[in-house]
Amino acid sequence: MSIIRRAPPKIPAWLQRSVTTIVIVLLWEAASLAGLIPARILAAPTAVAGTAWSMVASGELESNLLVSLVRATVGLSIALVLGTTLALASGLSRIGELAIDAPMQMLRTMPFLALVPLFILWFGIGETPKIALVALGATFPIYLTLFSGIRGIDKKLVEVAGCFGMSQWSLICHVVLPGALPSFLVGLRYALGISWLSLVVAEQVNASAGIGYLIMDARDYMRTDIILVCLLVYSLLGLGTDLMVRMLERYALAWRPALLAG
């Protein structure tokens, strides 16, 4: 009589990736309950969860989150327009490259977060310097990746398009821009990450609302639970926006063999 062995149940991939995180949270909670980690140093996970629930129930988290989303959206929109325009002008024209690329490379090497005092002197302490900081930080990855994607187009494709009698405009629309789209989407993912990083700093400059404002206010009262809730919100925002771009990438680049195979 043959013994049929059943294959062990397959553990979902998301659960496998979460094992380390779950273990860390459990050890963190145990250390907090044992008094090894004081609440003033790091609040326990259960305390953080309770604080998050109370902030959601009171509407405090949602109202400040909306302010942060507006700032990030406006800043990123400016960066998209500015970075894309400069990359197209520089990538499609030799004269544009000579006029634009060198200044952009010089600005890129500057630590843009160090420009906060200068932005305050220029724009005051209102919303403008916060949005400008997000826009500046997100512009460079969009410009660099799109410029690189345009200049990295295979010359053979351009030659084939010329053989079919394509005009310059048709060549740009049907060959150059689709070929540079993967690089642009990579740059957009980087830009989203940098925009959230910029927002963290920007919202700590004389802000009266926003997730960064909540962090600064909680620091004054040594509320590590609120600080951790806000940091978790920032990380979820970054993860969510990155997931949105990846979904857009799958849809927009469905013609790529690598994605079709996956």
**260: confidence class by pLDDT, cuts 50, 70, 90:** very low
- Residue located via tokens 């420009």: 115
Structural domain contains residue 213: yes
Question: pLDDT per residue over 7-60, tens digit each?
Answer: 555 666 666 666 777 888 888 888 888 878 787 888 888 888 888 899 898 888
pLDDT for residue 230 is more than 80:
yes
Has residue 226 been placed in a domain? yes
What is the arithmetic mean of pLDDT over 138-145? 90
pLDDT at 1 over 50: no
The closest alpha carbon to 197, from 140, 247, 126, 246, belongs to 140
Q: What is the pLDDT of residue 225?
A: 87
Residue 2 has pLDDT above 70, yes or no: no
Residue 244 maps to a domain:
yes
Give the torsion sign (CA, 119, 123, 128, 132).
Answer: negative
Mean pLDDT over 108-121 rounds to 79
Say yes or no to pLDDT of 259 above 50: no
Q: Dihedral sign for Cα 108, 110, 113, 115, please.
A: negative
The domain that holds 191 is classified in CATH as 1.10.3720.10
Number of domains in the chain: 1
- Asked if residue 49 is part of any domain, the answer here is no
Please check the confidence at residue 177 and state whether its pLDDT lies above 80. no
- Percent of the chain at pLDDT > 70 equals 82
pLDDT value of residue 157? 67
In a domain, 12, yes or no: no
pLDDT per residue over 62-93, tens digit each? 888 898 889 889 999 999 999 988 988 887 77
53-61: Cβ within 8 A, 24+ apart: 55/226, 55/229, 60/214, 61/214, 61/229, 61/233
Percentage, residues of the chain above pLDDT 90: 5
- Identify whether 14 is part of a domain: no
Label residue 71 left, alpha or beta by phi (over 0 means left) and psi (-120 to 50 means alpha).
alpha
Residues spanned by the domain of 231: 55-252
